[in-house]
Structure 1
């Protein structure tokens, strides 16, 4: 994934592609439609919908199982942009953004790593990566 690319589930990519095709063929688009077409083209030009390798590396597009300090049960979530992942109705887990405090802390870590992050409400939260598997839809 390049610095400009954004991971998106394959079903969400299909949804956005269909929306763009529908809007781009509108005979008399208004300003809002033209702006949406521009946004969709930008998003699609940055989209990466590949299945990540199952190598234990934490990156967008991975389903993460982690133990957060203070919790009694492991947390399972998909690392990805919430608004794009929400377009895929098959995603049955919480979504954590790569730009969130936890997302920023864990990207690039591997299964078995323990990393620390801060939130506005609490500092020094530890999270242990128990599993990182590719999201396959």
Structure 2
């Protein structure tokens, strides 16, 4: 992988494009209106609404620039055809052997990782440990506290 490439699934790329479109077409207009309203209050040197709107505008423009760069450098990844082997794009069901808890994750590029949606990055400790493993393998991953957690791969 080249340093400037953004590894992403086709679904993740579509989400980025939708977010970019929303920011450009909707959010920019909303912020423009907020700035107009704030300017109507008069003196901008002590105008909190104006300052807040300008800060929001700067944040949105920064996010737009970041999204455009990510989309430009996107390399769409596909799950490998090797059945039962974990790769980027794979949906994996694992079992925490200590707590007998089952979890399901999709391994994605870091640009679209969202643990709350069950998407973990291929460069995260768990993601790295899962890559190239197969059903039945036991992996160990260091927790943030430093303890080693054992997982068994149930399905890929």
Task: Sort the TM-score into its range (normalised by shorter chain).
Answer: 0.5 to 0.7
Distance of aligned partners of 1:93 and 1:120 in 2 relative to their CA distance in 1, 3 Å threshold: closer
* 1:13-61 deviations in Å (ceiling 9; x for gaps): 223223434528x799x54443222101122134344541342222232
Q: Where does residue 130 of structure 2 map in the other structure?
A: 106
Distance of aligned partners of 1:54 and 1:111 in 2 relative to their CA distance in 1, 3 Å threshold: farther
Alignment partners' CA distance in 2, 1:80 and 1:98: 6
Q: CA deviation at 1:72?
A: 2.3
State the TM-score, normalizing by the size of structure 1. Answer: 0.65
Q: CA deviation at 1:64?
A: 0.5
SS at match of 1:74: strand
The structure with the larger Rg is: 2
Distance of aligned partners of 1:108 and 1:45 in 2 relative to their CA distance in 1, 3 Å threshold: farther
Alignment partners' CA distance in 2, 1:65 and 1:20: 32
Alignment partners' CA distance in 2, 1:46 and 1:57: 27
Write 1 or 2 for the structure with the bigger share of helix.
2
The more displaced of 49-58 and 107-116 is: 49-58
- Runs of 4+ aligned structure 1 residues displaced above 6 Å come to none
Q: CA deviation at 1:113?
A: 1.9
Whether the 8 Å CA contact 2:95–2:153 is kept in 1: the answer is yes
> Which aligned pairs between 1:84-123 and structure 2 lie closer than 5 A?
84=112, 94-123=118-147
* Aligned-residue RMSD, C-alpha: 3.3
Q: Where does residue 14 of structure 2 map in the other structure?
A: 14
Structure 2: gaps spanning 5 or more residues: 33-56
SS at match of 2:144: coil
Whether the 8 Å CA contact 1:8–1:85 is kept in 2: the answer is no
Q: Where does residue 89 of structure 1 map in the other structure?
A: none
Q: Which has the higher relative contact order, 1 or 2, with Cα contacts under 8 A spaced 6 or more apart?
A: 1
